[in-house]
Structure 1
Amino acid sequence: MLRHLIPRRGRLPELHSTGRPVVLLHGTLSSPGNFADLAAALDGRGRRVIVPEYGRRGTTSLMECVDEVRSTLIDANSQLDIIGHSLGGLVGLLAADCPELQGRIGQIIGLGACWRGVPPYPRWSQAIIARLLGRSFVDIMQPFSPVIPAGVEVVSIISTRDTTVPEYSSRLGRVVELPGVHHARLPDQVEAVCEVLR
């Protein structure tokens, strides 16, 4: 599997703030270090930053990822916000939809999030894709009808240059368009993210 070959990107700084928690969720084959700059900026603004590595870097089944993240959100035992890149956006949205979290989540911000899934590859190739990229990648090759939990504001930060997640899938709630940003670099758009996070 590629998760053994693709190195983790970045390294999280020391985080010390104790304010309202914000949970950062990486995408498939990614890791917490993808959010190094954003985590530092949010910590500097007084937010308690929680950055779990879940689902063997987002490669287990979608529902295993959701269950693991849901447990993290419940354990935070606080009002919180979620920022998810790619798969992390969908995982955060699905995890947030449970009675234990009702009324506790203010915002979910998707960075090129695959809210509605991605186009399927030919059926014959899906076993190979699951083996190389992980089960979650195949699980999102279906249409989803996203449900926004009551009281949650969803903001989608999308890019005109994103060739990984189709635009139709990454639009949900309020949409902020960034021109020319590659999908993998959406977590680096610190200013844009901090601007929409309440």
Structure 2
Amino acid sequence: MHKVFVGMAVIIGLAVAPITASAGPVVEGSVGVGWQLTTSVDRTPVNVMVAPGWGFAGLLKLELGLLASLGDVQNSKFDLELRPMVVISPPLIPLYLRGIFAVQNFVNGPTAIAYGAALGVSFGLLGAGLFVEAGVLPRNVKVDATTNARVVGSTSAPTKDVFRWFVEGRAGAYYDF
């Protein structure tokens, strides 16, 4: 029985040792698309994100994403946002949780704050990998006071801020240096 416990301890030690020794830069690139959940479901613009960051022992990543929203749907324009993110990824399990804080509308304003989370699956080998995730990113949206249509940029019509739920799907690749 003693040999079984020693064998298990050696296997666990060998599995965890490389994890504790790895820390360093990481970069992710991804493409996402979302949907605004109101009385109807409206697609949001396709976005492209590059997120450099720092990984700690394969368990935690701190990243700063630069996201470009392409403006490919009605009532939208090209815009930029910053997304500071925290990724928690337990060892030996391909699931991860991403906490997201976003500062939006740098180009067309007004700047807005959003926060949310995503759950994803990732698979990697030798530092390179692929991931797919789904998340929620609720936020206040400026809308026309009479039509409730989203306002992009400035307008002379009266506007109001409305809280809306957004869901987003994202797929991409990463490399841990």
TM range, smaller chain: under 0.3
> TM-score when scaled to structure 2?
0.25
Indicate the structure (1 or 2) with the bigger Cα radius of gyration: 2
Would you tell me which structure has more strand in proportion to its own residues?
2
> TM-score when scaled to structure 1?
0.23
Would you tell me which structure has more helix in proportion to its own residues?
1
